[in-house]
């Protein structure tokens, strides 16, 4: 069991109880802050980060039940483990605490061994939860991670309007053949890091990474105002960052990276898809195909970005866009118009 120190908030209005509990918890190696009533406790929870709350029931201003209710109704605090410590008479109080979401109950006077076991177990659960959240954040934005935590990966598709972005590195296989395996992975990691930054700073999520290619979604699962503009801005930011990276690469005589973007806006079917042990959030539909085909077509058209008519129509400034008409794409019966920047 992991016994790394945690930050514990002790809420008790009685001075003797507060001193004794503080000493007990400090002897377990944890850091302690104290509050003498419910109101102060709520203020402290709002301004500092805690791993466990040790809560008395009989406290002034807001009693323990009210504090529990408030915590459980706040998305940012609802997962904070609360251990109720009280000498309140009667089983119904204990039952009520547990029903309100308290993790555990320790009767007063607090038994040292019991306290150690309860605190360690709660800290361990809190750490696992934090790690799970951290892991989710690696492939999703904070918003999506929160949604996933809340819904518990509820499977089910929805039809919505979103912007899909595809991006890949041109001739990456050829470039990588001249490099050591370490340098290849290092380069891909740099590229992914830049792409993730560009995508998330515009509110998008990276939904797929394959080799040197990447698919990002804007406006799914959560709606975004002008998802088309955001996707195009992300692509432009990424091109600017790649230019900076290329200056460094050419300075040490390495081949500069060239990347292509295909962007399309329209209706998609979105949802969490999963097999037994893996889950991912993805979009399916004609819009997704169109973005992928446009990205492939950048090589033919000799440009860095191509987007569809719907995306173009949403751009705030279209003065520098150029239309390439009558583009024939694989899988599309009719020719389409593609747009790029002049």
Partner 1 sequence: MTEDIVDTEVFAELCEAMGDDFAAELLDTFLSEAPKMLAALKTAVAEDDADGYRRAAHSIKSNAEIFGATALAGLSRQMELTSLADAPPPVADLDTMWSDTETALKALCDE
Judged by the rule CB under 8 A, the positions of this chain that interact with partner 1 are 13-17, 19-20, 23-24, 27, 58, 87-89, 108-109, 112
- Name the minimum Å distance from CB 76 to partner 1: 31
Residue 242 is encoded by which pair of tokens? 């790649």
Our CB check for partner 1 shows the closer of 87 and 337 to be 87
Residue 267 to residue 206: CA distance in whole angstroms: 18
Q: What number of other Cβ atoms are within 10 A of residue 267's Cβ?
A: 14
- Name the minimum Å distance from CB 14 to partner 1: 5
| Residue partners of 195: CB distance under 8 A and separation at least 6 | 167, 206, 214, 216, 238
Our CB check for partner 1 shows the closer of 15 and 78 to be 15
- Name the minimum Å distance from CB 100 to partner 1: 20
Q: What number of other Cβ atoms are within 10 A of residue 185's Cβ?
A: 12
Our CB check for partner 1 shows the closer of 16 and 174 to be 16
Three-state SS at 155: coil
Q: For residue 249, what are the CA distances in angstroms to 149, 177, 186, 188?
A: 41, 16, 13, 14
> Are the C-beta atoms of residues 206 and 195 closer than 8 Å to each other?
yes
Our CB check for partner 1 shows the closer of 79 and 116 to be 116
Our CB check for partner 1 shows the closer of 90 and 302 to be 90
Positive/negative CA dihedral, 295, 297, 302, 307: negative
- Name the minimum Å distance from CB 59 to partner 1: 9
- Name the minimum Å distance from CB 43 to partner 1: 22
């Amino acid at each position: 069991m992991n016994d790394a120190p945690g930050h514990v908030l002790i809420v008790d209005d009685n001075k003797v109880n507060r001193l004794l509990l503080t000493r007990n918890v400090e002897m377990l190696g944890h850091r302690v802050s104290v509050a003498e009533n419910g109101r102060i406790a709520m203020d402290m929870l709002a301004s500092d980060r805690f791993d466990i709350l040790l809560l008395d029931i009989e406290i002034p201003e807001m009693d323990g039940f009210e504090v529990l209710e408030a915590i459980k109704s706040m998305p940012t605090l609802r997962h904070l483990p609360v251990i109720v410590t009280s000498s309140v008479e009667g089983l119904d109080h204990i039952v009520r605490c547990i029903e309100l979401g308290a993790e555990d109950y320790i009767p007063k006077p607090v038994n040292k061994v019991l306290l150690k076991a309860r605190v360690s177990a709660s800290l361990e659960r809190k750490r696992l939860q934090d790690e799970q959240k951290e892991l989710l954040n690696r492939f999703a934005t904070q918003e999506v991670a929160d949604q996933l935590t809340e819904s518990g990966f509820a499977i089910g598709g929805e039809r919505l309007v979103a912007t899909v972005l595809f991006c890949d590195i041109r001739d990456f296989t050829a470039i990588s053949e001249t490099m050591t395996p370490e340098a290849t992975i290092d380069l891909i990691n740099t590229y992914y890091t830049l792409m993730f930054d560009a995508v998330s700073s515009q509110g998008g999520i990276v939904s797929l990474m394959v080799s040197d290619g990447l698919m990002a979604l804007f406006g799914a699962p959560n709606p975004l105002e002008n998802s088309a503009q955001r996707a195009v801005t992300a692509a432009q930011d990424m091109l600017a960052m790649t230019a900076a990276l290329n200056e460094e690469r050419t300075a040490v005589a390495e081949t500069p990276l060239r990347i292509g973007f295909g962007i399309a806006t329209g209706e998609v079917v979105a949802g969490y898809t999963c097999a037994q042990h893996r889950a991912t959030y993805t979009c399916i539909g004609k819009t997704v195909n169109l973005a992928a085909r446009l990205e492939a077509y950048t090589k033919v058209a000799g440009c860095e970005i191509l987007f569809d008519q719907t995306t173009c129509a949403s751009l705030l400034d279209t003065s520098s866009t150029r239309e390439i008409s009558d583009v024939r794409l694989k899988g599309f019966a009719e020719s389409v118009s593609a747009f790029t920047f002049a």
